[in-house]
């Protein structure tokens, strides 16, 4: 295969987005390449041509192949990883399963931060209600001056005491709303020193963190991540990693189905851990099965992860510098550069005429840009200031961020 030319040509030749829409928000829903989308269509057509063959035999072989591909790509064992629809499914399974850490005594505490993804915070809240547990939230103060000062906020919280009551710590790899790259190994060491297991929400990790994400080299106990954000798979392709395979086979998805007590013939192909999440009744798993094509796209058409990383990270820095210079908001970073995520950046907006610095007006501006300006971005309110979270993917070019700057300038105070 010929290696594709990144930027406008990639967008035109390898993606299906409307050509008149400026897309600088890959991090939310990640349009997948047409190369992968065609595989999704092929899988669905094959399923439709003979549903019984698909559901009774074929899908098991395909799923097993995809799990093995995931294990190879993320450097872990086949028995440690399973595929799920999205990261929230994985988080729910960990928090709501009858795992040893939740059964030792009644009650207990789940520790998290205020930077966690909204759906994860909801899951923690609901789990605490169901289990009669408490939620202990570390309120991270922004801006952060340096990485050690950030870690110190966690140390200060643990030094308050009552750590023996904490059953699980939930932290992000890259925060969704604020695009902060967390020092997850240092934090995991800190929690483990207090005997606290760690779940990492890595929705934005795979395909963005560098060097290649190795789950075996990480120290956390659980990791959930997506293949459909930065790894080019179709939407609905994510994974759940559990370091201890004994614990993996005790995890139960929210939906109890045929995988709860699988047939022996299926256990010859996969573990109970795999089948619990895969054998979920009649549903369309085609998106999960696009992973091999997504890997092929990244490695062959796009020229490999090193080339992708170099392009996306360089464009991200250029776009950030351009926007800050245009809006005169240099020096307004929420975190030091070592905690910037490679492809996501937060840039403070200038004062705007018709939009207040509130969550409500951030959402209002976001929707206005989508509906009336064909500009797809994320607008957020942090520390009573409006920020835009930009993303860079191989179909982007610097002109996309010039359009963003021009659109925002239309709303600036005179």
Q: Which CATH architecture has domain 40-297?
A: 3-Layer(aba) Sandwich (3.40)
Query: Quick one: pLDDT band at residue 265, thresholds 50, 70, 90?
Result: low
Predicted pLDDT of residue 260: 83
Q: Write out pLDDT tens, residues 160-176.
A: 878 889 999 999 999 99
pTM: 0.96
Model confidence at 264: pLDDT above 90: no
Q: Which pLDDT score is estimated for 211?
A: 67
Q: What does the block give as tokens for 42? A: 């092929």
The chain-wide mean pLDDT, for the chain, equals 94
What pLDDT digit, counting tens, does each position of 275-329 carry? 889 888 888 999 999 999 999 999 999 999 999 999 999 999 999 999 999 999 9
- Indicate the CATH number for domain 8-24+304-408: 3.90.1150.10
The region that residue 185 occupies, defined by phi over 0 for left and psi between -120 and 50 for alpha, beta otherwise, is alpha
Q: Name the nearest CA neighbour of 140 among 410, 360, 335, 351.
A: 335
Q: Where are the domains of the chain?
A: 8-24+304-408, 40-297
Q: 91-113 in b/e burial notation, b at 16+ Cβ within 10 A?
A: bbbbbbeebeebeeeeebbbbbb
Q: Tell which wins on pLDDT, 103 or 205.
A: 205
């Amino acid at each position: 295969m010929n290696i594709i030319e990144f930027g406008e040509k990639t967008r035109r030749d390898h993606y299906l987005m409307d050509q008149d829409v400026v897309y600088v928000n890959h991090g939310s829903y990640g349009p997948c390449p047409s190369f992968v989308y065609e595989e999704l269509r092929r899988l669905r057509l094959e399923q439709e041509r003979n549903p019984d063959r698909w559901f009774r035999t074929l899908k098991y072989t395909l799923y097993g192949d995809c799990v093995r591909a995931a294990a190879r790509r993320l450097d872990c064992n086949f028995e440690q990883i399973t595929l799920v629809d999205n990261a929230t499914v994985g988080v729910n399974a960990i928090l709501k399963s009858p795992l040893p850490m939740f059964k030792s005594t009644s009650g207990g505490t789940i520790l998290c931060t205020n930077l966690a993804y909204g759906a994860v915070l909801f899951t923690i809240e609901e789990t605490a209600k169901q289990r009669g547990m408490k939620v202990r939230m570390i309120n991270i103060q922004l801006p952060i001056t340096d990485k050690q000062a950030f870690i110190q906020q966690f140390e200060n919280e643990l030094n308050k005491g009552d750590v023996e009551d904490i059953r699980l710590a939930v932290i992000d790899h890259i925060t969704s709303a604020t695009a902060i790259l967390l020092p997850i190994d240092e934090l995991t060491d800190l929690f483990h020193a207090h005997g606290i297991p760690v779940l990492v929400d890595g929705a934005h990790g795979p395909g963005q963190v560098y060097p290649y994400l190795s789950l075996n080299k990480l120290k956390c106990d659980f990791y959930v991540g997506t293949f459909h954000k930065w790894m080019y798979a179709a939407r609905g392709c994510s994974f759940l990693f559990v370091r201890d395979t004994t614990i993996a086979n005790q995890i139960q998805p929210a939906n109890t189905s045929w995988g709860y007590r699988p047939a022996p013939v299926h256990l010859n192909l996969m573990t109970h851990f795999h089948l619990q999440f895969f054998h979920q009744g009649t549903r369309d798993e085609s998106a999960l099965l696009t992973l091999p094509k997504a890997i092929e796209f990244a490695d062959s058409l796009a020229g490999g992860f090193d080339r992708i990383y170099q392009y996306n990270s360089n464009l991200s820095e250029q776009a950030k510098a351009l926007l800050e210079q245009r809006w005169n908001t240099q020096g307004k970073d929420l975190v030091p550069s070592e905690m910037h995520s490679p492809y996501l950046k937060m840039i403070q907006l200038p004062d705007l005429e018709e939009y207040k610095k509130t969550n409500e007006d951030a959402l209002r501006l976001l929707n206005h840009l989508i509906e009336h300006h064909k500009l797809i971005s994320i607008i957020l309110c942090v520390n009573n200031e409006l920020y835009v979270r930009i993303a860079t993917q191989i179909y982007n070019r610097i002109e996309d961020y010039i359009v963003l700057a021009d659109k925002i300038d239309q709303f600036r105070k005179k």
